[in-house]
Amino acid sequence: MKSVNITYFVHGTTTDNEKGIATGWSPGELSELGRKQCMELRESIRNKGFDVAFCSDLKRAVDSAAIMFRDSVNIIQDRRLREVNLGDLTRVDSKKIDSIMLEHINKPFPKGESCKDVEKRILSFLNDLSKKYPEKNVAIVAHRVPQLALEVLINKKSWEQAIVEDWRLKQPKEWKPGWKYELEK
């Protein structure tokens, strides 16, 4: 059975992350710490043999991918990898978003989208990935909710489980690079 090996990276820390603001579809700006995280990660993944890297088209992910994979692999931007659209709740306190995330699994954020909407985008992306990159080692640089969608789609977790078990809720000021997934065709 052909599979795609995926390593998923969340973009580096942003100025909004440091202020506790939920960025949503706003571009976001890497902080000094975020740039440092990406440079350090670049060194640790240098010899991982990625065939291609995909990233969200939001600035914070594009900038992270550019630092991580500069001159080593082709980087393809894909808007399906965007964070959940928080609509009217874009740029509010991130603790508020954390506290209501379970309410927005099926119900869109006001003038935004739901977690299930993100899941549909990620499923479309994964379908294309399995057709175009079988047996490849793929890196993805994106955001929180798309990564939770991989937990749902590949690891077969419920949305409730993926949200409740999300490490970001336990360590909101931490940054963790690299989750491994195997997408079987």
Query: For residue 151, what are the domain limits?
Result: 3-184
CA distance 107 to 78: 24
E strand or H helix that includes residue 120: helix 115-132
pLDDT for the residue 175: 66
CA distance 115 to 119: 6
User: At what angle are helices 144-153 and 115-132 packed, to 10 degrees?
Assistant: 70
Find, among 33, 94, 85, 26, the residue nearest to 58 by Cα.
Answer: 26
CA distance 40 to 124: 31
119, two tokens: 């899941």
pLDDT for the residue 184: 83
The number of folded domains in the chain is 1
166: Cβ contacts below 8 Å, ≥ 6 apart: 144, 148
pLDDT for the residue 2: 77
CA distance 146 to 155: 13
The reply to whether the predicted model has a pTM over 0.75 is: yes
CATH number of the CATH domain containing 81:
3.40.50.1240
Q: pLDDT tens per residue, the chain (185 residues)?
A: 579 999 999 999 999 999 999 999 999 999 999 999 999 999 889 888 999 999 999 999 999 999 999 888 999 999 999 999 999 999 999 999 999 999 999 999 999 999 999 999 999 999 999 999 999 999 999 999 999 999 999 999 999 999 999 877 766 556 677 888 998 86
Find, among 88, 91, 119, 115, the residue nearest to 104 by Cα.
Answer: 115
DSSP state of 82: P
